[in-house]
Structure 1
Amino acid sequence: MEPRKAKILAGATFTGVLILILVLWLCLGPSKTFFLLGGIGVAVILSVLLWVLLQHAALDRRRMSLVRRSALEGNELRLEYSFLRKVAGLPTKFRYKDLVAATDHFQALLTAAPPAPSSKGYSRTAPRSPSRGIEGAEHGDHEFRSEVSAVASVQHVNLVRLLGYCLNPGGPRFLVYEYIHNGSLASWIFPSDRSNGSGERRCLPWPLRYGIAVDVAKALAYLHHDCRSRVLHMDIKPENILLDEGFRALVSDFGLSKLMGRDQSRIVTTIRGTKGYLAPEWFLENGISEKSDIYSYGMVLLELVGGRRNVMLVGDGEPSERQWSYFPKIVAEKVREGKTMQVVDERLLQPQGGGGGGGGVDERQVKTLVYVALWCIQENPKLRPSMARVVDMLEGRLPVDTPPETEMIIVDILSINDRPGAGAGAGPAGVGIGSMNYSFAASILSGR
């Protein structure tokens, strides 16, 4: 019986018995018959009260049973949902205070480079995970949702895995990635004061460089051809290529990524990326496509071969005596002269004891990488091979033809030339544009 009905019945019974006792008192007075009937009435009242109490106790037990059952079912659903999220590789939503605790208030800074700084942290949920903050008006809700959706929807052995994210109301937003042990490719191929821990400066051997070129090509081929919606990375550069403990390359940083429908040949958007790796179509207002990523990949290949920035200010002395050096132009000239090996990182040609990579440079592989790179940086996007074709060429399934000469009008667009002092105030001698970690975004306006 429902609790409300039980209370009404108990109240009616109690009232009726009291009225009956009162009537008996008036009619019989203090006689044996009155006390007998009164005792029966009191027993009835007590029985009804006991029945009501038992009904309430039974109802409480049923309620507790339902609560426990709901809690168990809820826990099972949460565990199952958590398991399915892990199996599917879906990101976890972290609390801001957990990230603060894991990163020791973001003290372990991995990089402060745009578009966002990265900090390393440790937690039971995401062990040794870098968290990257996204701040500023240009990195609002739209960019954050774009990055989370793009990274969460792709899973590949050569892509950095997104472990989770954090939405901090009124504050910065964070992405939590898996920690990649050996850092970025840039710290391994460009000459610097950084050592490998034994006092020797880092220099990646040639076999590893070639393997990295193949790994990155496979990652981009997956993004361009094997995803439900094509994903344009839009910021391919050595800083966004990480190396794990086995020196396998993983492409990272989808903060500027763009989804592209299968029926789209190109899209029009604001200029995004890093100066020195941008394809010419960014500046010519022709719209961009996956071929823009291919151009950036070709520029990275040249830096992988030469161990230097493609765009560098070289020379000593006064700023007016320095010159800009454009490596792709140098490579094209050396290929035309039949001197391809002269563009190889000179440290790789030194013996092991001389601080180099110990030799072992495969001339055929050098020629393959250089030719593929020159195909990828063609000014005409239609001449650039697809990333799937690039993978086939690097793995020897397709021949690599001699690339045609290209104008390299990007030299004029970036105001880079061979005149002494041109742009000399942009940086110190020997510093490349790419080494400044300079990313930017600018809108392209065109009249009707």
Structure 2
Amino acid sequence: MNAITANQPLSGDQKITSENETFILGFFKPGNSSNNWYIGIWYGMITEQTVVWVANRETPITNTTSSELTISDDGNLVLINQFKTVVWSTNVKGSTLNSTHEAVILDSGNLVLRDKSNSSRVLWESFDHPAHTWLAGSKIGLNKTTGVNQRLISWKMRTTLHQYWKSGKWNGQYFDSIPEMELYTHLSIFSYSFVDDKAGTYLTYWISGNWSITRIVMDISGQLKGLTWRKSTQIWGTSSVNPKAQCDVYNWCGAFGSCDSDFLDTCHCIKGFTEKNPVNWGLKDYSGGCVRSTALQCNQNGSRKGDEDRFYEMSNIVFPDNSQRIGSSNGIKDCESACLNNCSCTAYSYSNGCSLWYGDLINLKDGDGVGGETIYLRLAASELPNTKSKKIIVIVVVCIGVFLVICLAFVLSLILRRRWRLRKLRRVEGRMMAFTYRDLLYITINFSEALGRGGFGSVYKGILPDSTVVAVKRLDGICQGDKNFRAEVSTIGMIQHLNLIRLIGFCSEHDKKLLVYEHMPMGSLDRHLFGNTSARLSWNTRYQIALGISRGLHYLHEKCRDCIIHCDIKPENILLDELFVPKIADFGLAKLLGHDFSRVLTSMRGTIGYLAPEWISGTALTAKADVYSYGMMLLEIIFGKRNRRQEENNDVSFFPAFAAKKLVEGDIQCLLDVNFVDDANMEELERALKVALWCVQWEEDSRPSMGKIVQLLEGLTNVSMPPIPRPFEIFADNPYSINYFSNTSSNVSSN
């Protein structure tokens, strides 16, 4: 079937193909779990079904047998569902339409509605109505005749997001803010054409020569990604990403949301605002933006009432878009009055003149300390402290306090006595808190609730006076003096990163050495990988956990003033917050213990499976030892099982050897954890598996740095096929019946 006519509709599993079978049009559903069916176009010459255009994205159907795509009586191409209702149409208007038209798909991927007797007379084409994919020859812009905005809109399952970013100016050959366009133009790979005439304003491109299958997709992140089909690996590879930084995606954080590029491009609501949809924010969908906690007090007629609205100073901010400049302003006070006298004004700034913002503040970004500016945000007076009111409150509080002291002396004495136990709590270098041992006895209720035990000591739950829940670790084997211990702890406490556990304080009294950390409600990663809760970790969650851990190690190895080697990377030392964001724990403790800490490590359950070969040979350790441990742990994250375990016949199975063999054979799906075998992204799976095997190379010079690993997992750099690590080759033919470790010793076998 190569055309759709009034007498030959398309339904069920029927399809039409282009002349060279390059593209296919038919019914499809996105994913095995979906009950929705769509009419779409996908590649016919590659194994993985890749949809490039969808007709009825907003109106899916549930029955393809009794639904059909056909030519209507008025000559339009229409989709009719099982209830005989038109759910999608080309909507071409004109007296020349008739039922003799036909719809065909061209080898360019363009679906056209044309006159059957005159094929050159095209009435409608899908290239004028792109979905989420930009194919060569398709137009992005504005059709001035129909008024249709020809744009890419991201699409993933049933979710659509409208995102924008700035391409820069057109210089005649390419947009100057897209370096890939310049590169491809100079290499004669792509030819771009920007048209602005009476018919429309649009951009299109063509692929020169016999290049691989290439497409450009508007991702759900708002980034425009160039993808190329790789025949050797049968996967789509990422060739370009624009914009590079997520914070540069226009309106990524929504109205009154600010993007912080220093912390994984995360969003937060500015002062006086809260998330409009907290559930979506928890899923990292910030497009809904933020709403005011307290409404402004302007009257409906536009006048203001006294000082009920005031301004909050926000420094180091990259200005939001769409400001209006006021030329005649005599100073910052006049600028403030100009904004205050207009109820639509939400912010102002004064820098060589007055700038005002009206309505929503869009595209706010936290400055990097160099290019940031100061902006004054309009808030209700109740959101900000008032000096006069504050004085009155202080006087009232003092009077009430004196009265309570006189009347309730006994009760207050008991309260003060309990609080006196924390009297020595103090700040160290503005960040750390120094606790006495009595303090920690009090907040942990005599160490009554244990959270777990590791090689460095036991961990207990505690609650600070401000109700903050903390984790208190009692360290074993610390021989350092008080002065050196405080200096080392202070250094560790200065380290701040999203994927590193935050050290709140410490205690150092004689032989009592304790550390106080932030509490992680979801516990350690091993409970979710190997316990009864493993089904809760989807593939996407596991991949994001692996990526977050790599970012934290990258920070320790390369971003700190001195390189910090963790020495004990394993799932037990990865903690998860309520959103399953991973945080590396126990970093820096090896330094606190000194160089003689092998006794602690080798006594810990499962740690022997993560030790790099350098530990056994006795050579000096480098950051590559952490890379090896990370690789072993990454295999466990992917497959949901220990990298080594005792079998019923007392043999020890070594899973990495089996994984390496399956990667070479190209049969990696059999390795997947059964809990998410259906929703795993096979491109990410192969990428993660290759990264893991690069990490566990026997020679440390062959292992990548953690900075390189972050780039590989983010898809910014291609991952080549790793060689099978030398010891793995011995067991590759029979990896589940190996005695790689001795059953009577914790040392690695010489075999």
TM bracket, shorter-chain basis? 0.5 to 0.7
Separation in 2, partners of 1:144, 1:410: 45
Give, in whole Å, the separation in 2 of the partners of 1:250 and 1:164.
17
Q: What is residue 706 of structure 2 aligned with on the other side? A: 387
| 2:693 matched residue in structure 1 | 374
AA paired with 1:324? V
Separation (CA, whole Å) in 2 of partners of 1:134 and 1:257 = 11
Shift of 1:409: 7.3
In the alignment, what sits opposite 2:355? none
Is the contact made by 1:235 and 1:256 (CA closer than 8 Å) also made in structure 2?
A: no
Residue 569 of structure 2 corresponds to 236
Q: Distance in 1 between matches of 2:654 and 2:565?
A: 26
CA contact (8 A) 1:379 1:409 kept: no
CA shift at 1:424, angstroms?
5.0
Identity percentage over the alignment? 34
- Give, in whole Å, the separation in 2 of the partners of 1:410 and 1:130: 43
Aligned match of 1:361: 680
Which residue does 1:179 correspond to in 2?
519
2:471 is matched with which residue: 130, 140, 143? Answer: 130
Select which of 448, 460, 477 maps to 1:107.
448
Q: Deviations over 1:158-186 (max 9, x none)?
A: 110000001123x4211000111111111
Equivalence for 1:222: 555
Instruction: Report the Cα distance in structure 2 between the residues aligned to 1:286 and 1:218, rounded to whole angstroms.
Output: 26
Measure how far apart 1:311 and its partner are: 1.1
Q: Which runs of 5+ in 1 are unaligned?
A: 1-80, 196-200, 260-266, 316-320, 350-358, 427-432, 434-439, 441-448
Q: 1:397 aligns with which of 716, 721, 725?
A: 716
Q: Which position in structure 1 is the counterpart of 2:624?
A: 291
Cα distance change of structure 1 residues 410 and 243 upon mapping to structure 2, 3 Å threshold: farther
Match of residue 480 from structure 2: 141
The answer to whether 1:345 aligns with 2:673 is yes
- Scaled by the length of structure 1, the TM-score of the pair is 0.63
Q: 1:365 to 1:421 in 2, by over 3 A?
A: closer
Aligned partner of residue 635 in structure 2, secondary structure: helix
What is the distance in 1 between the residues matched to 2:446 and 2:589? 26
1:112 Cα offset (Å): 2.1
Check conservation: 1:301, 1:373, Cα contact below 8 A: yes
Aligned to 2:528: 188
Distance apart, 1:148 and its partner CA: 1.5
Deviations for 1:381-438, whole angstroms, at most 9, x for unmatched residues? 01101111100011111000000121137999xxx99457975578xxxxxx9xxxxx
* 1:153 matched to 2:494: yes
Relative to structure 1, is the Cα distance of residues 299 and 420 closer, same or farther in structure 2, using a 3 angstrom cutoff?
A: closer
Equivalent pair of 1:280/1:410 in contact (CA under 8 Å): no
1:409 and 1:145 mapped to 2: Cα distance? 44
Larger-gyration structure (1/2): 1
Change (3 A) 1:230 1:303: same
Judged with a 3 Å threshold, the aligned counterparts in structure 2 of structure 1 residues 342 and 395 are, in CA distance, closer, same or farther, namely: same
For residues 345 and 145 of structure 1, do their structure 2 counterparts lie closer, same or farther at Cα, with a shift above 3 Å needed?
farther
Q: Distance in 2 between matches of 1:421 and 1:285?
A: 20
Does residue 491 of structure 2 align to residue 163 of structure 1?
A: no
Q: 1:420 to 1:276 in 2, by over 3 A?
A: closer
Cα separation, partners in 2 of 1:402 and 1:145, compared to 1, 3 Å: farther
State the match for 1:331 in structure 2.
659
Conserved? CA contact 2:504–2:518, under 8 Å = yes
The 2-side partners of 1:275 and 1:146 are apart by: 31
2:4 equivalent in structure 1 = none
- Counterpart among 270, 275, 294 of residue 608 in structure 2: 275
How far apart are the structure 1 equivalents of 2:664 and 2:485?
Answer: 45
**Distance in 2, Cα, partners of 1:144 & 1:82:** 17
> Does the CA-based 8 Å contact 1:310-1:327 persist in structure 2?
yes
Cα contact 1:310–1:326 (8 A) shared by 2: yes
Runs of 5+ consecutive residues of structure 2 not aligned to the other structure:
1-424, 602-606
Matches of 2:539 and 2:667, distance apart in 1: 18
Q: Which has the higher helix share?
A: 1
Contact persistence 1:234–1:258 (CA under 8 A):
no
In the TM superposition, 1:293-308 aligns within 5 A as 293-308=626-641
* Distance of aligned partners of 1:101 and 1:411 in 2 relative to their CA distance in 1, 3 Å threshold: farther
Tell me the number of residue pairs that the alignment of Structure 1 and Structure 2 aligns. Answer: 311
Q: How does 1:305-320 map to 2 (within 5 A)?
A: 305-315=638-648
Provide the rounded CA distance (Å) in 1 between the counterparts of 2:556 and 2:494.
10
- 8 Å CA contact 1:166–1:174 kept in 2: the answer is yes
Q: Which runs of 4+ in 1 moved over 3 A?
A: 81-86, 142-147, 255-259, 267-273, 409-412, 416-426
Deviation track 1:123-172 (CA, whole Å, cap 9, x = no partner) reads 1267110100013xx32226955862452131111110000001123x42
Query: For the residues of structure 1 that align with 2:740 and 2:557, how far apart are their CA atoms?
Result: 41
Q: Tell me if the contact between 1:280 and 1:409 (Cα under 8 Å) persists in the aligned partners.
A: no
What is the Cα deviation at residue 100 of structure 1?
A: 0.7
Query: The residue matched to 1:346 in structure 2 has which SS?
Result: coil
* TM norm structure 2: 0.39
1:214-267, CA deviations, whole angstroms, 9 ceiling, x for partnerless residues?
A: 1011101111111111111111110111111111111111254349xxxxxxx9
Give yes or no for contact 1:118–1:130 (8 Å, CA) kept in 2: yes
CA distance in 2, matches of 1:149, 1:84: 8
Decide whether the 8 Å contact of 2:711 with 2:717 is kept in 1: yes
1:286 shift after superposition: 2.3
Distance 1:289 1:323, change over 3 A: same
Tell whether the 8 Å contact from 2:657 to 2:728 is kept in structure 1 after alignment: no
Pairing 1:92–2:433 present: yes
**C-alpha displacement at 1:187, in angstroms?**
0.7
